Amino acid sequence: MPGPMPHPRAPETFRVKSFGCQMNVYDGERMSELLGAKGLRAASDGEEADLVVLNTCHIREKAAEKVYSDIGRLAKAGGENPPMIAVAGCVAQAEGEEIMARAPAVGLVVGPQAYHRLPEMIDRAVRGERPADTDMPANAKFAALPARRRSGPTAFLTVQEGCDKFCTYCVVPYTRGAEISRPFNDLLREAETLVEAGAREITLLGQNVNAWRNDAIGFDDLIRELAKLPELQRIRYTTSHPNDVTDGLIRAHAEVEKLMPFLHLPVQSGSDRVLKAMNRSHTALSYLKVLERYRAARPDIALSGDFIVGFPGETEAEFEETLRLVDAVGYAQAFSFKYSPRPGTPAASMDGQIAPEVMDERLQRLQAALNRDQLAFNRASLGKRCQVLVERRGKLPGQWLGKSPWLQSVHFEGEAGIGDLVAVELTQAGPNSMHGQLLETVAT
């Protein structure tokens, strides 16, 4: 096997490629800021970067495999002068040593809780070392990151990381570590700088975001405090866990105008036996009851969820219980996945692994039901007048694209600019987006 490639030249340009969840998008932005502070420049579109950071996802097998194909492609693309490759994120955490052994083109490996050390690791790689850092103390990372200076109209803010729930299929507790909540004052400061930098909507992020807590300050208190920032127009949060929902959080949906009427609450399955085998510690009924309470507080709330089909031992009848739950809820949108065995998780060695063709067929039926409901939700929105936060130009001349309060993508034409909050009437509904008629500009 060829030896490690030295990188005698310090990189001047970089590209960060993030895969997977929104928390990785947040981490990718923070790594870009770190590299900018080190004096590197983001490579422009089409330009080969001297340093490529692959910010990886380990949640399902396909996501993890992508890393190796990307490394191979990058190593070849540079010819005589390949870029320095840094593997970051959850694959780095779970398979750091294997990556170093399997892929000599990789210059360094950095786990999701250690990326604040990226600048010094690059220096070490330039000196010919192959540093690997997969330490786990999450708050140390946040304290070491530079202040936020740039933001589009929508921004992510990670408030909570890690997970102690150990669902039997999931790698997150192993790759992201134990649950931690970032300090309240740090979050307030980061939110203020994001708003100063142009953010009008902040999405609070966490693997179990609603588990955030600082002593007596609960997640709903955090939302209420952030809502006091005058220029911040909208607050969202994702992903919630059914067991961490509090009365205070539900009340906030009725009382805090800036908190958008949208909830992403994964359920995974509609079968109590499967939920138990998944170690979800909620039942289908307790989940539905949580949704009922949200709907009582905020009747127009748009609901979203995550589903896994083909968990080991899932029978046809149990899968049909999932379909019945979907029918009962009427989701505005949702994510659905085939079960993917992850090394080291209890479910990977359970009896009754489901054949791929059975999983395919179940996923198709589930997605047909979810798509039907998404279109129905969009059609039921026709005629509604709402605010749209403009995120970018649309594909057609004079067209703009933004999001409704219910997280629908809305196209419209007329006088507007990025970051404007405009009033529109929703006039056309498709499966994945809406068209709107501009009424007036509400605020900028």
| Collapsed DSSP state (helix, strand, coil) of residue 360 | helix
- Compute φ and ψ for 305, nearest 5 degrees: -155, 175
- Residue keyed to tokens 């507007």: 416
Task: State the binding string over 146-165 for ligand SF4 (x if CB under 6 A, else -).
Answer: -----------------x-x
167 binds ligand SF4 (CB under 6 A): yes
**Contact (CB, 8 A) for 249 and 300:** no
381 binds ligand SF4 (CB under 6 A): no
Sorted by sequence, the CB contacts under 8 Å of residue 190 that are 6+ apart come out as 148, 157
342 binds ligand SF4 (CB under 6 A): no
343 binds ligand SF4 (CB under 6 A): no
Number of chain positions touching ligand SF4 (CB under 6 A): 10
Query: Among 36, 173, 218, 394, which residue sits at the site for ligand SF4 (rule: CB under 6 A)?
Result: 173
Number of chain positions touching ligand SAM (CB under 6 A): 18
Q: Which does 408 bind (CB under 5 to 8 A by kind): ligand SF4, ligand SAM, none?
A: none
Closest to 240 measured CA to CA, from 262, 255, 273, 272: 262
With b for 16 or more beta-carbon neighbours within 10 A and e for fewer, the 278-317 pattern comes to bebebbbeebbebbeebbebbeebbbbbebbbbbbbbeee
Query: Among 67, 108, 121, 170, which residue sits at the site for ligand SF4 (rule: CB under 6 A)?
Result: 170
Select from 83-91, 105-113, 168-176, 380-388 the region that touches ligand SAM (CB under 6 A).
Answer: 168-176
DSSP assignment of 157-193: EE-EE--S---TT--HHHHT-S-EE--HHHHHHHHHH
Supply the minimum distance, in Å, between the C-beta of residue 305 and ligand SF4.
Answer: 12
Supply the minimum distance, in Å, between the C-beta of residue 59 and ligand SF4.
Answer: 8
209 binds ligand SAM (CB under 6 A): no
Could you tell me the strand order of the sheet in which 262-264 lies?
262-264, 302-309, 333-338
- Compute φ and ψ for 4, nearest 5 degrees: -65, 150
The Cα–Cα gap between 127 and 335 comes to 44
241 binds ligand SF4 (CB under 6 A): yes
172 binds ligand SF4 (CB under 6 A): yes
Q: Which does 166 bind (CB under 5 to 8 A by kind): ligand SAM, ligand SF4, none?
A: ligand SF4
The Cα–Cα gap between 434 and 402 comes to 10
Residue number, 11 or 310, with CB nearest to ligand SF4: 310
Supply the minimum distance, in Å, between the C-beta of residue 307 and ligand SF4.
Answer: 12
DSSP assignment of 280-309: ----HHHHHHHHHHHHHH-TT-EEEEEEEE
Supply the minimum distance, in Å, between the C-beta of residue 249 and ligand SF4.
Answer: 17
Instruction: Point out which residues bind ligand SF4 (CB under 6 A).
Output: 163, 165-167, 170, 172-173, 207-208, 241
Instruction: Point out which residues bind ligand SAM (CB under 6 A).
Output: 21, 59-60, 169-170, 172, 207-208, 239, 241, 266, 268, 306, 308, 337, 339-340, 342
